[in-house]
């Protein structure tokens, strides 16, 4: 069984997000970038499927600038067999990514596509669902357990107030939630070997997908800074402030 | 963990510890020579930061002499040297509101950054050392160097004969209790014919090598400073790219040496910092608070006001100069850059000399390997080459600079230096033989300092500062700040020195809090550590040992 794993290059989760001085966007100049943590979980799940003898080949795919090849190399070091880089410097929206992944899936014919449930940069939580719609495949989103059987996959989903298990016919689309697994560290020899694994580059034009943005970014603003609290002297003072300053009670 | 783990190993010709200016310069030069000689050479660089440049912090004014030698075409290759230094100003801050500008003729010539066009001394750039390293890392990768960010060299690998044979990378996935967690990955032996240690100031392996091979024998004890740096976005009308300000005086008292810098770089940004000599004596001194209040001086405020702080960091500086420079060779390896102490304090620059030491190391090692050397020798020819280099000559001429300031103070020591440089380093030698940690007076003799509260505009507290360093450590791991004797901070340091760790640490890692039993308790918030190494240097009991945490931890400095 072939597994396709989508990964995204995003700002590292340790980095404090900063808006550019002209407010045109988030400042990414020389900022540490990394693989989206949910995508790491997706790669890990694919590697575990391969270790169990269920998956036979893992193909990692990303959409992004040349530097995003670093994240593909990480996926290769963690256990992916080969990688596909859809190269573009444009800001690509979820729908365009889903269309590109659909084209890659057409070519690769995987039985399972695993993606992170969302990327920590724009937090859209859309691509997996859109890809399922475009391919017509079943979707198991927010997965905390993935159990592949003969021709089907049982996906345990994290939903409000509990867990839900769905059975999907393969091929299917799965998006990962935090509890699915704990990703491993890449080993040094594997990082070296990853440099020699095959990595194909394609362009959106070659894949026949128009990625032109339907949304323009007008302005980026940092969240308002939290103001320091004060100590009140009495319950009466608190009530007074809630009523007259904060105006949250009447 | 006590039990012996079975470790995998990999073999290289050369292993380099640390992707800083000296390590990367060495890596590039090794590969250049190998490619020229059409010889296979395996060179590996391990870096504890999450990426190349993540732990690099420097002013920085950069003299490109070593870079010229390494990549004469650096401009075409896109090296991030974008802002030439165009105007030098040196000030003496007399108090919190007045400053005297020193006429150029009275400024020691090593501190001139702008000279006559074409002259070597006058061609300098305002740069981000982190970005220089990022760029050097790319060059190294292109040349075929294997760079592994996120992997810390934890131990030196010795053979039975005591010869250095490489390093052991740190274990990943060890819990705070010392037990392996899910995903535990034992460290690997990276074996090499030669290992270059380029960890920067007070490297934890470098420190052990110096001890084990007695490399500092006959030298003065090493001296250090702590350097703070912030990066600011400033309003366009306050920005003058290429303007370089240095100065000393206020807020430091006469017994405390140091100086500030304020450089106007690219992208409408200003880098501002304070260097505080770690030979300071007042245990109540807080270098962090000195830096914060410094920014309120009108001279600095005029550039920062209305701007916003975007990055913060601090790092120890090896500043002892040639009197303190240890022997750099031992069987199987070399100590290079600030791990040894090649910074030229008289120029307040160390990048160029660190890089040069890396180049000399690379040439020595390559010559040996090319000649059929199977490794493990002591490369004494390095010393000969190094002592013939311009970098060494520079350090020799500056030999008295630091010790004269320690001995005679900033003003008289400065005058001594001025005359010494004018004579080309011919005044009698000055030495400072007291290590920095032994300089602290007892708290009873110390002077408490009432630091002003930060205003949140120009000055800030430690928590908001560490936040801007993007520091992170996996929480569930053993602390990498080890106490040889856990009782010392409360039993000895607290009554004698009011535990100075609370103040010298630039991010508040060390706190004395009230324990459950109502007694004072020493707390180590190692997660905040920005790897500056000041605690390892300044602890009066020399009881704190800095070791490398799990790889990838520590600050994530952008553009620093």
CATH number of A2-244: 3.40.50.620
Name the residue of chain A whose CA is nearest to B234's CA: A21
Percent of chain B with pLDDT over 70: 95
B182 to chain A: closest CA residue: A182
- Under 8 Å between Cβ of A36 and A10: yes
A37-63 per-position pLDDT tens digit: 999 999 999 999 999 999 999 999 999
Nearest-by-CA chain A residue for B235 = A21
For residues B551, B557, B559, B560, the Cα torsion angle rounded to the nearest 10 degrees is: -100
- Distance, in Å, from the CA atom of A95 to the CA atom of A98, rounded to the nearest integer, reads 5
Is the sign of the CA dihedral B288, B292, B293, B299 positive or negative? positive
Chain B positions touching A183 (Cβ under 8 A) are 183
Average pLDDT of the residues of chain A: 95
A188/B268 touch (CB, cutoff 8 Å), yes or no: no
Q: A249 falls in which pLDDT band (50, 70, 90)?
A: confident
pLDDT in tens, B542-553: 999 999 999 999
From B8, B130, B556, residue closest to A14, measured CB to CB: B556
What ipTM does this complex have?
A: 0.86
CA torsion through residues A108, A109, A111, A112, sign: positive
The answer to whether the CB of B114 falls within 8 A of the CB of B121 is: no
Tens of pLDDT, residues A92-133? 999 999 999 999 999 999 999 999 999 999 999 999 999 999
Q: B230 to chain A, minimum CA–CA distance in Å?
A: 15
pLDDT reported for residue B123: 84
A160-198 pLDDT tens trace: 999 999 999 999 999 999 999 999 999 999 999 999 999
A18 touching chain B per CB within 8 A: yes
- Quote the pLDDT of residue B1: 45
What pTM, to 2 d.p., does this model score? Answer: 0.93
pLDDT of residue B117: 47
CA distance A193 to chain B (A): 11
Closest by alpha carbon to A151, among A165, A135, A167, A133?
A: A167
Is A15 touching B (CB cutoff 8 A)? yes
Domain boundaries, chain A: 2-244
**The pLDDT of residue A209 is above 90:** yes
Q: What is the percent of chain A with per-residue pLDDT over 90, rounded to a whole number? A: 89
Question: What per-residue confidence (pLDDT) applies to B118?
Answer: 44
CA distances from B274 to B197, B313, B327, B551 (A): 27, 11, 30, 29
* Positions in chain B whose pLDDT score sits under 50: 1-2, 116-121
Verify whether the Cβ–Cβ distance A15 to B470 is below 8 Å. yes
Q: Which residues pair with A34 in a beta bridge?
A: A10
Structural Rg of chain A based on CA atoms? 22
Contact A30 B233 (CB under 8 A): no
A to B CB pairs, distance under 8 Å: 57
Domains of chain B: 9-64+130-220+322-397 (3.50.50.60), 401-430 (no CATH), 439-452+461-546 (3.30.70.20)
> For B371-476, where are the alpha helices, taking DSSP H only?
381-388, 390-397, 401-422, 462-467
pLDDT given at position B3:
52
The reported pLDDT for the residue numbered B415 is 67
């Amino acid at each position: 069984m072939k597994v396709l794993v989508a990964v995204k290059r995003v700002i590292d989760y340790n980095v404090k997000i900063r808006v550019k001085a002209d407010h045109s966007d988030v400042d990414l100049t020389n900022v540490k970038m990394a693989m989206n943590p949910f995508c790491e979980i997706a790669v890990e799940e694919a590697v575990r499927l391969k270790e169990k003898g269920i998956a036979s080949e893992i193909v990692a795919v990303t959409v992004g600038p040349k530097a995003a090849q670093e994240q593909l190399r990480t996926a290769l070091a963690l256990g992916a067999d080969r990688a596909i880089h859809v190269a573009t410097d444009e800001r690509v929206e979820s729908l365009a990514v889903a269309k590109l992944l659909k084209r890659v899936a057409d070519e690769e014919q995987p039985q399972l596509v695993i993606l992170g449930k969302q990327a920590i940069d724009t937090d859209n939580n859309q691509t997996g669902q859109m890809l399922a719609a475009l391919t017509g495949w079943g979707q198991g989103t927010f997965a905390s357990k993935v159990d592949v059987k003969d021709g089907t996959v049982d996906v345990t989903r994290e939903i409000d107030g509990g867990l839900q298990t769905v059975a999907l016919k393969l091929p299917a689309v799965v998006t990962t939630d935090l509890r699915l697994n704990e990703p491993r560290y890449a080993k040094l020899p594997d990082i070296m070997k990853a440099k020699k694994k095959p990595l194909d580059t394609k362009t959106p034009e070659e894949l026949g997908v128009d990625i032109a943005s339907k949304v323009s970014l007008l302005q980026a603003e940092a969240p308002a800074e939290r103001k320091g609290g004060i100590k009140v002297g009495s319950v009466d003072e608190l009530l007074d402030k809630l009523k007259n300053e904060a105006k949250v009670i009447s | 963990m006590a039990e012996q783990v079975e470790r995998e190993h990999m073999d290289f010709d050369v292993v380099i510890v640390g992707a800083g200016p000296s390590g990367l310069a060495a890596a590039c030069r090794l590969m250049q020579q190998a490619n020229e000689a059409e010889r296979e050479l395996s060179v590996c660089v391990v870096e504890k930061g999450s990426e190349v440049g993540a732990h690099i912090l420097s002013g920085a004014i950069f003299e490109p002499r070593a870079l010229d030698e390494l990549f004469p075409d650096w401009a075409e290759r896109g090296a991030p040297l974008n802002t030439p230094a165009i105007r030098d100003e040196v000030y003496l801050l007399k108090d919190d509101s007045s400053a005297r500008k020193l006429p150029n003729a009275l400024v020691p010539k090593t501190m001139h950054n702008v000279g006559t066009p074409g002259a070597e001394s006058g061609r300098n750039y305002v740069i981000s050392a982190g970005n220089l390293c990022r760029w050097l890392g790319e060059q190294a990768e292109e040349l075929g160097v294997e760079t592994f960010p996120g992997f810390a060299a934890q131990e030196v690998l010795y053979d039975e004969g005591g010869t250095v044979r490489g390093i052991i990378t740190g274990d990943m996935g060890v819990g705070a209790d010392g037990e392996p967690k899910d995903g535990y990955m034992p460290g690997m032996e990276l074996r090499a014919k030669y290992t270059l240690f380029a960890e920067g100031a007070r490297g934890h392996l470098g420190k052990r090598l110096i001890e084990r091979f007695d490399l500092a024998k006959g030298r003065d004890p090493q001296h250090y400073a702590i350097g703070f740096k912030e990066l600011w976005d400033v309003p366009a009308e306050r920005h003058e790219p290429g303007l370089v300000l240095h100065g000393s005086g206020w807020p430091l008292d006469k017994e405390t040496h140091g100086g500030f810098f304020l450089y106007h770089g690219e992208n409408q940004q200003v880098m501002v910092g304070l260097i505080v000599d770690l030979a300071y004596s007042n245990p109540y001194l807080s270098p962090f608070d000195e830096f914060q209040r410094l920014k309120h001086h009108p001279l600095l405020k005029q550039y920062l006001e209305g701007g916003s702080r975007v990055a913060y960091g601090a790092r120890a500086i090896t500043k002892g100069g040639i009197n303190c420079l240890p022997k750099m060779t031992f069987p199987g390896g070399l100590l290079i850059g600030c791990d040894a102490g090649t910074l030229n304090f008289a120029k307040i620059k160390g990048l160029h000399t660190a890089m040069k030491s890396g180049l000399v190391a690379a040439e020595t090692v390559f010559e040996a390997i090319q000649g059929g050397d199977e490794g493990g020798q002591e490369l004494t020819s390095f010393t000969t080459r190094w002592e013939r280099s311009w970098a060494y000559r520079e350090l020799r001429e500056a030999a008295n600079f630091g010790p004269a300031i320690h001995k005679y103070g900033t003003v008289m020591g400065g005058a001594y230096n001025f005359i010494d440089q004018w004579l080309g380093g011919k005044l009698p030698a000055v030495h400072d033989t007291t290590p920095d940690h032994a300089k602290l007076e007892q708290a009873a003799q110390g002077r408490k300092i009432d630091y002003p509260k930060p205003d949140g505009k120009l000055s800030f507290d430690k928590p908001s500062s560490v936040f801007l360093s993007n520091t992170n450590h996996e929480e569930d791991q053993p602390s990498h700040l080890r106490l040889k004797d856990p009782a010392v901070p409360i039993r000895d340091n607290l009554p004698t020195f009011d535990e100075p760790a609370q103040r010298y640490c630039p991010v508040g890692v060390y706190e004395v809090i009230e324990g459950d039993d109502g007694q004072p308790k020493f707390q180590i918030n190692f997660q905040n550590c920005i790897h500056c190494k000041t605690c390892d240097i300044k602890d009066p009991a020399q009881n704190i040992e800095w070791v490398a945490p799990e790889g990838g931890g520590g600050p994530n400095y952008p553009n620093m």
